[in-house]
Amino acid sequence: MRILLVEDNLALSQGLSAILRGSGYAVDIVSDGASADAVTSTETFDLVILDLTLPEMDGLDVLRSMRARQNKAAVLILTARGTQEEKIKGLDLGADDYMIKPFDVSEFEARVRVLLRRQAGLRSSLISYGNVSLDLNSRTFSADGVTVDIPARELGLLEILFMRAGKVVAKEAIIQSLTAFDDDLSANAIEQYVSRLRKRLAPHGLTVRTARGIGYYLDKTAGG
């Protein structure tokens, strides 16, 4: 899942990005409103974490511009501007949630998880397909009731496929979801991750199938 963090406080943006990347998310950071407006017009994000008091362009104007372009990314406003009027304005403009600084980090992480789950159309944090389950809160993968260690990139790929189980996910969409601006992930690398994931899933009745020229999808194998 890919997150854009819009925050002009360097220490806070670095701290939050470390927390989010530690949870396995791809995180991009911009520090002013104009950059946020530009990047959300050209890139796809699952969640935008948006400060309001920003250089060059106010956060509410960024949000207004996003929604005018029909940008459907979830938006979490994270700001020191906590008056009732500001909250109502932000929510009316299309924010999905609103947190006031200072805030509790555990609550912040929980709200991020809820928004990403809602963005994917999921009610529960536990997704099951066949004998395999994925817990989106703890980001743990289990097969036949046993937790299985899996590298972060493969886990990220599995998460994307699980959220769209049975549906084809374009290779380009996978690359976008797994990478931030400073990452370099090629189509060939995705193929390698898919190959490794197939080997992990094979004993548990699942596989990753290729939709030639389009992308990949999660499917049950015979007897799975």
Q: What is the CATH number of the domain that holds 209?
A: 1.10.10.10
pLDDT for position 33: 96
Check whether residue 142 and residue 78 sit in a common domain. no
CB 141 within 8 A of CB 148: yes
Spatial neighbors of 58 by CB under 8 A, at least 6 apart, are 33, 52
How far apart CA 96 and CA 49 sit, in angstroms, is 10
Averaged pLDDT for residues 155-173: 83
Q: Give the DSSP H or E segment for 81.
A: none
Burial 148-165 (b: 16+ CB within 10 A, else e): eebeebbbbbbbbbbbbb
How far apart CA 31 and CA 177 sit, in angstroms, is 21
Check whether residue 78 and residue 135 sit in a common domain. no
The tens digit of pLDDT for each residue in 5-39 reads 999 999 999 999 998 888 778 899 999 999 999 99
With CA atoms as reference, report the closest residue to 57 among 65, 69, 49. Answer: 65
pLDDT for position 132: 83
| Residue 109: domain span | 2-119
How far apart CA 6 and CA 119 sit, in angstroms, is 19
Residue 103 has pLDDT above 70, yes or no: yes
Q: What is the CATH number of the domain that holds 18?
A: 3.40.50.2300
CB 224 within 8 A of CB 130: yes
Check whether residue 101 and residue 149 sit in a common domain. no
Q: What is the crossing angle of helices 187-201 and 152-163, to 10°?
A: 80
Residue 137 has pLDDT above 70, yes or no: yes
